[in-house]
Amino acid sequence: MFDPNKEWSISFAGCGFMGIYYVGVISCILERFPRFIRDAAKIYGASAGALMAAIITLGIPLDKCCSDLMRMAKEARKHKLGPLHPAYNLLQLVQESLLEKLPEDAHLRVSGKLSLSLTRVSDGRNLLVSQFDSREELIQALICSCFVPLYCGVVPFNPSQYYVDGAVSDNLPRCQLGRTITISPYAGESDLCPRASTLTFHEVRFNNVSIQLNSENLYRVTSTFFPPEAEAMAEICQNGYMDALRFLQENGEDSFLVFLQR
């Protein structure tokens, strides 16, 4: 059970377009227990999870981020090959969104609390980056954490350093000291995630993310790379809200509220 008297961190798994799930999760938490995010020692993230980690660390309104994600998904669905179409540049859209929404002092506000998972191409080693010297460096790190080899292109976004998607080496980073609350849009053993409603025979681990093998997760993995229709994405968002509500209730939401009133 979550103990608000002890230090905790939060970690978001990489999940592509399934990041809409996090919009629902965070909407619920901000409504009912904002201290869960505000007082977290560190907020970790890989790939799309890194973007959400940065968004909540900076306190950027979720509605704006949701609109951007839905727009990116809509643009991808216009092409027969979806995000793989040569005319579609996902990382460019992400960069434009970051340039528009991140404040000038973003790097100062997140340094020390935000921790981004990156993979170094030269040796495949995972790096957790928490210090940023400029807004540009922060944006570059976020883009690198989202660079899925082949899916996003061949040459990494930052050729001088050759960092790619953190999900390649650690898709759900954890704090070595203290408790890390793990959040994932895939049914599995993460602290906050969907529950499987269909029969599950096996479980796999993709770079620290627990994923049960069932038809529901197959759909979620497919939606990670190829966004479904807007109605389906809205349902995924709603599911995130309800899963977060269940997490708070099962871990003592009432005790959280009493604690906040002290």
SS (H, E, C) the chain: CCCCCCCEEEEECCCHHHHHHHHHHHHHHHHHCCHHHHCCCCEEEECHHHHHHHHHHHCCCHHHHHHHHHHHHHHHHCCCCHHHCCCCCHHHHHHHHHHHHCCCCHHHHHCCCEEEEEEECCCCCEEEECCCCCHHHHHHHHHHHCCCCCCCCCCCCCCCCCEEEHHHCCCCCCCCCCEEEEECCCCCCCCECCCCCCCCCEEEEECCEEEEECHHHHHHHHHHHCCCCHHHHHHHHHHHHHHHHHHHHHCCHHHHHHHHCC
| Catalytic hit among 27, 47, 97, 169 | 47
CB 45, CB 116: distance < 8 Å? yes
Structure tokens at 24: 């629902």
- Annotation says 111 is catalytic: no
Which residues are paired to 192 by β-bridges? 183
| Catalytic hit among 97, 145, 165, 210 | 165
For 218, residues 6+ apart whose C-beta sits below 8 A from its C-beta are: none
Structure tokens at 240: 């995130």
CB 73, CB 227: distance < 8 Å? yes
- Annotation says 47 is catalytic: yes
Which residues carry out catalysis?
47, 165
